[in-house]
Structure 1
Amino acid sequence: MLRSLFVALAVSAVFAGVPTPEETKRMMGHLSDAEHFKNEHHNKQYDHDAFLGEDQAKAFDQLPPEESKRRLGIIADKIDSDKDGFVTLVELKDWIRYTQKRYTEEDTERHWRQHNPDNSEKLAWEDYKKNVYGFMDEMSEKEKNTPNSEGFAYASLLKRDRRRWHYADADQDGSLNRTEFAAFLHPEENPTMRDVVVLETLEDIDKDKDGKVSLEEYIGDMYKPEDGEDDEEPDWVKQEREQFTGYRDTNKDGFMDEHEVKDWIAPPEFDHAEAEARHLVFEADADADEKLTKAEILEKYDLFVGSQATDFGEALSRHDEF
């Protein structure tokens, strides 16, 4: 499913400072779609919160609707690179790739300056660890090793970051240059980091820690009925059960192992930008001519401000572009 792959691979790994344990699911690329897709309805606000952070999302939400639409119209004109009055699938795909590359570069630069204020050629693991996790020195070993505690959550994040650092460290000298640091921050953007993304995904979903994903773990990570809901699952959940048994579990042993998880979240030759572009065109193309007018884009305003075409709404709040 596009939604699962999208949430899994489009997430930045490290934010300024250390997140609270409640934020770790988003930070570490957790595949939870329980809030993103709730009872078959797409919750567009999730895109704002998950990919912008709540503070930026709230700032965007405070823009008057007409001003937001005006800015979205300007973006639509930019996407229409040949200025023929239509946004084609190719133009939308190119724009999505551009916005993702810009976001990755800007995010890497911001964190590189934060963790390497002297702009040294390389950043050592010990310096990064002290900067981000130094507060853990005040924690007792009991705090760090008590399951479900805050200390345990941070200890797990530290362990995961250390492993990701190792994968990103191409020359294995213990330090990262800016290119390697970008791979550490955004492993989903670097093919050499694919294995660690798969490991992190598997660990997040594998609740009983047996090294594989059961059908119930797979479903439970996407769908959690709210209190008071009846036992009848939405149709999309039933379809996901069929996807698991029919396609995800290729060896039919009732589980997804590491290789099957990799085929799921990082299928060969999958083009994320094209998949997202096709999704947007399908949703907004009112006359089914496989291209979008500005009017069609504005008509689906709420869809586009929660999509990667506008950096999940961020581009709408950039005053320097308008």
Structure 2
Amino acid sequence: MDNKFLLTLVILTYSATALAFTVATDVDNKGRVLNKNLSHEAHFDQGEHNEDYDHEAFLGDEAKEFDHLSPEESKNRLGKIVDKIDRDNDGFVTEAELKSWIQYTQKKYILEDVERQWSQHNAKDKIMWADYRKTVYGFLDDMDPNELEKDDEGYSYRDMQRRDRRRWSVADGDGDDALTKEEFVSFLHPEDVPHMHDIVILETMEDIDKDKDGKISQEEYIGDMYRGTSEEDEPDWVKSEREQFNVYRDQNKDGYLDQNEVKNWIIPPDFDHAIAEAKHLIYESDTDEDAKLTKEEILDKYDLFVGSQATDFGEALTRHDEF
């Protein structure tokens, strides 16, 4: 279960509003989510490997497109992708080539996400906080204060606005209360920007530290991922997480995670998510154990890379992005 969090950066889902026109992310994700660098999915779900993580890591925002393809069409599309990944055309996909491809898909997703939200604001050179706030949270001005207390997941819209305001200020490098497109990237995707990591840590602690004592107990740590009521009935993966907390997370053995220990947990030093995923895909697919993949090995494991179980195949997709 440890890999679940080694492959994780925890951030607060940025904003949700009742407006029909909104630049916020998924309105259902108002609270804290485990938002990975490589995928919105958890790599391990209650101790079980989740192939949706691999699909999004490998395909980026095109992962869902494969859900509408037959196995035959999925393999055909995958074969074309493999040809792109094999940059030296030697018939093998190496770890370095696979890492490069994964980094490309993730960078492409981030840039497209930023471009989409930037255009929704009709932004040119900068977005002013006042304009952003009016678009995303302007509905608060017309609502009854009693309606703003708490939403279903325990986060008030006012609190989300406060947190967005704080994150905006950190992303605003020149202090003019407006974000350039580059600064907007930092605001939307702080997990990818080193100078934003402190705000990621702070938001994580605020979400998990339920009693607001400035540290995370083992029960708060477990409660963030498991809602069971009896420790005796906990599944093995939860018991494993308790052990991880005691042995690895709580480095000073005081029974709590402080800010530095949370940082080491969610942003482990010298850990490369793309390399880890590349190693994982090769390990799962390399039948002759030569530390590289042929097209045949990848196609034999096509469900790991792109997986299509859909019966409504839809039309073949025609995107031909350059890599």
Normalising by the smaller structure, the TM-score range is 0.7 to 0.9
* Aligned position for 1:4: 5
Conserved? CA contact 2:15–2:160, under 8 Å = no
CA distance in 1, matches of 2:102, 2:11: 12
* Aligned position for 1:276: 277
CA distance in 1, matches of 2:166, 2:269: 24
Counterpart mapping for 1:96-245 below 5 A: 96-115=102-121, 117-119=122-124, 121-144=125-148, 146-149=149-152, 152-224=155-227, 231-234=233-236, 236-245=237-246
In the alignment, residue 203 of structure 1 is paired with which amino acid? E
Conserved? CA contact 1:5–1:265, under 8 Å = yes
In the alignment, residue 302 of structure 2 is paired with which amino acid? Y
In the alignment, residue 303 of structure 1 is paired with which amino acid? L
Counterpart mapping for 1:232-271 below 5 A: 232-234=234-236, 236-271=237-272
Match of 1:65 among 50, 63, 71: 71
Answer yes or no: is 1:91 the counterpart of 2:92: no
Answer yes or no: is 1:44 the counterpart of 2:44: no
CA distance in 1, matches of 2:130, 2:197: 24
| CA deviation after TM superposition for structure 1 residue 104, in Å | 1.4
CA distance in 2, matches of 1:97, 1:51: 9
| CA deviation after TM superposition for structure 1 residue 143, in Å | 2.0
Conserved? CA contact 1:198–1:258, under 8 Å = yes
Structure 1: gaps spanning 5 or more residues? 307-315
* Aligned position for 1:311: none
Classify 1:27/1:130 alpha carbon distance in 2 versus 1 (closer, same or farther; 3 Å): farther
Classify 1:118/1:259 alpha carbon distance in 2 versus 1 (closer, same or farther; 3 Å): closer
Classify 1:14/1:303 alpha carbon distance in 2 versus 1 (closer, same or farther; 3 Å): farther
* Aligned position for 2:310: none
CA distance in 2, matches of 1:288, 1:269: 26
Classify 1:149/1:30 alpha carbon distance in 2 versus 1 (closer, same or farther; 3 Å): farther
- Aligned pairs, number: 306
CA distance in 1, matches of 2:238, 2:276: 21
Match of 1:17 among 16, 20, 23: 23
CA distance in 1, matches of 2:42, 2:273: 21
Write the deviation string for residues 51-82 of structure 1: whole angstroms up to 9, x where unpaired: 999x9866542222211221111111111111
Classify 1:181/1:28 alpha carbon distance in 2 versus 1 (closer, same or farther; 3 Å): farther
Conserved? CA contact 2:214–2:258, under 8 Å = yes
| CA deviation after TM superposition for structure 1 residue 179, in Å | 0.8
CA distance in 2, matches of 1:246, 1:175: 44
RMSD across aligned positions (CA):
3.6
* Aligned position for 1:309: none
| CA deviation after TM superposition for structure 1 residue 162, in Å | 0.8
In the alignment, residue 209 of structure 2 is paired with which amino acid? D
Classify 1:11/1:72 alpha carbon distance in 2 versus 1 (closer, same or farther; 3 Å): farther
CA distance in 2, matches of 1:34, 1:76: 23
* Mean CA deviation greater in 34-43 or 247-256: 34-43
| CA deviation after TM superposition for structure 1 residue 283, in Å | 1.7
Classify 1:224/1:299 alpha carbon distance in 2 versus 1 (closer, same or farther; 3 Å): farther
Conserved? CA contact 2:205–2:214, under 8 Å = yes
Secondary structure of the corresponding residue to residue 9 of structure 2: helix
Conserved? CA contact 2:99–2:274, under 8 Å = yes
Classify 1:293/1:59 alpha carbon distance in 2 versus 1 (closer, same or farther; 3 Å): closer
Classify 1:221/1:286 alpha carbon distance in 2 versus 1 (closer, same or farther; 3 Å): farther
CA distance in 2, matches of 1:208, 1:139: 29
* Aligned position for 1:320: 320
Write the deviation string for residues 245-279 of structure 1: whole angstroms up to 9, x where unpaired: 11110111111111100011112222121111112
Q: Going by fraction, where is helix more abundant, 1 or 2?
A: 1
| CA deviation after TM superposition for structure 1 residue 240, in Å | 2.2
CA distance in 2, matches of 1:52, 1:90: 17
Secondary structure of the corresponding residue to residue 22 of structure 1: coil
Identity of aligned residues (%): 54
| CA deviation after TM superposition for structure 1 residue 148, in Å | 4.3
Structure 2: gaps spanning 5 or more residues? 17-21, 308-315
Deviating 4+ runs (over 6 angstroms): 46-53
TM-score (norm 2): 0.81
CA distance in 1, matches of 2:248, 2:174: 38
